[in-house]
Amino acid sequence: MDTAVVVVWLSMVITILSRSHADRNVYPSAGVLFVHVLEREHFKGEFPPYPKPGDSSNDPITFNTNLMGYPDRPGWLRYIQRTSHSDGVLYGSPTAEHVGKATIIEITAYNRRTFETARHNLVINIMSTEDYPLPYQAEFFIKNMNVEEMLASEVLGDFLGAVKNVWQPERLNAINITSALDRGGRVPLPINNLKEGVYVMVGADVQFSSCLREVENPHNQLRCSQEMEPVISCDKKFRAQFDIDWCKINLVDITKVVTIHSNRPDPGTGVLPDIGEYNPPSESLKSRDFFADFLITLAVPSAVAMVLFTILGYSMCCRREGVDKRNMQTPDIQLVHHSSIQKSTKELRSMSKNREISWPLSTLPVFSQSGEVVPPIHPDNYETTSMPLMQTQTNLQNQIQIPQQQPSGDRDNYCMSTFRRLEVNGIPEERKVAEALNL
Query: Which range among 278-282, 306-310, 354-358 has the greatest average pLDDT?
Result: 306-310
> Taking residues 19-29, what's their average pLDDT?
72
- Contact between 35 and 153 under an 8 Å Cβ cutoff? The reply is yes
Amino acid at 296: I
Q: Tens digit of pLDDT for each residue in 151-199?
A: 888 999 999 999 999 998 888 889 999 998 888 888 887 777 788 899 9
Q: Which residues contact 22 (CB under 8 A, 6 or more apart)?
A: 120, 121
Counting every residue, how long is the chain?
439
**Residue 304 confidence class, pLDDT cut points 50, 70, 90:** very high
pLDDT at 123: 92
pLDDT at 346: 87
pLDDT at 55: 54
- Contact between 311 and 319 under an 8 Å Cβ cutoff? The reply is no
pLDDT at 65: 93
Given a cut of 80, is residue 13 above it in pLDDT? Answer: no
For 286, half-sphere exposure in the C-beta direction (CA atoms, 13 angstrom radius) is: 3
Given a cut of 60, is residue 387 above it in pLDDT? Answer: no
How many C-beta atoms lie closer than 10 Å to residue 269's C-beta?
18
Q: Tens digit of pLDDT for each residue in 317-375?
A: 877 767 777 777 788 888 788 888 988 888 888 887 775 556 555 555 555 455 555 55
Higher pLDDT, 260 or 175: 175
- Contact between 251 and 135 under an 8 Å Cβ cutoff? The reply is no
**Mean pLDDT over each residue of the chain, to the nearest integer:** 75
pLDDT at 142: 92
* Residue 284 to residue 160: CA distance in whole angstroms: 67
Higher pLDDT, 107 or 23: 107
> Taking residues 50-79, what's their average pLDDT?
81
Q: Return the closest-CA partner of residue 30 out of 177, 173, 138.
A: 173
> Taking residues 129-138, what's their average pLDDT?
82
pLDDT at 198: 92
Q: Tens digit of pLDDT for each residue in 194-253?
A: 888 999 999 998 899 888 889 888 999 999 999 888 998 888 888 888 999 999 999 988
pLDDT at 375: 55
Given a cut of 60, is residue 20 above it in pLDDT? Answer: no
pLDDT at 189: 76
Counting residues of the chain whose pLDDT is more than 90, the rounded percentage is: 19
Distances from the Cα of 438 to the Cα of 362, 433, 435, angstroms: 19, 9, 5
Given a cut of 50, is residue 7 above it in pLDDT? Answer: no
- Contact between 219 and 108 under an 8 Å Cβ cutoff? The reply is no
**At 347, which helix (H) or strand (E)?**
helix 332-352
Per the rule left: phi > 0, alpha: psi between -120 and 50, beta: everything else, 381 is: alpha
**Residue 9 confidence class, pLDDT cut points 50, 70, 90:** very low
pLDDT at 360: 57
pLDDT at 436: 46
Q: Return the closest-CA partner of residue 167 out of 211, 123, 126, 125.
A: 211
**Residue 18 confidence class, pLDDT cut points 50, 70, 90:** very low
Q: Which residues contact 33 (CB under 8 A, 6 or more apart)?
A: 91, 92, 93, 156, 173, 174, 175, 176, 177
Dihedral sign for Cα atoms in the order 253, 259, 265, 266: positive
Counting residues of the chain whose pLDDT is more than 70, the rounded percentage is: 69
Amino acid at 88: G
pLDDT at 80: 92
Dihedral sign for Cα atoms in the order 223, 224, 229, 232: positive
For residues 117-154, one letter each, b for 16 or more C-beta atoms within 10 angstroms of the residue's C-beta and e for the rest, the string is: ebebebebebeeeeebebbbbbbbbbbebbbbebbeee
**Residue 134 confidence class, pLDDT cut points 50, 70, 90:** confident
Given a cut of 50, is residue 425 above it in pLDDT? Answer: no
pLDDT at 15: 29
**Residue 392 confidence class, pLDDT cut points 50, 70, 90:** very low
Domains detected in the chain:
24-125 (2.60.40.10), 136-256 (no CATH), 361-381+389-438 (no CATH)
Given a cut of 80, is residue 262 above it in pLDDT? Answer: no
* Residue 95 to residue 266: CA distance in whole angstroms: 14
pLDDT at 201: 92
Given a cut of 90, is residue 58 above it in pLDDT? Answer: no
> Taking residues 404-423, what's their average pLDDT?
48
Q: For the whole model, what pTM was predicted?
A: 0.53
DSSP readout, 226-258? TT-----TTTHHHHTT--B-GGG-EEEEGGGPP
Q: Return the closest-CA partner of residue 177 out of 85, 90, 66, 63.
A: 90
Given a cut of 60, is residue 388 above it in pLDDT? Answer: no
Amino acid at 307: V
Largest interatomic CA distance in the chain: 144
* Residue 390 to residue 36: CA distance in whole angstroms: 100
Helices (H) and strands (E) in the chain, counts: 11, 15
Given a cut of 90, is residue 90 above it in pLDDT? Answer: yes
Given a cut of 70, is residue 379 above it in pLDDT? Answer: no
- φ/ψ of 369, rounded to 5, equals -65, -25
Residue 202: burial class (beta carbons within 10 Å; 0-12, 13-18, 19+): buried
* Residue 241 to residue 238: CA distance in whole angstroms: 6
Higher pLDDT, 401 or 89: 89
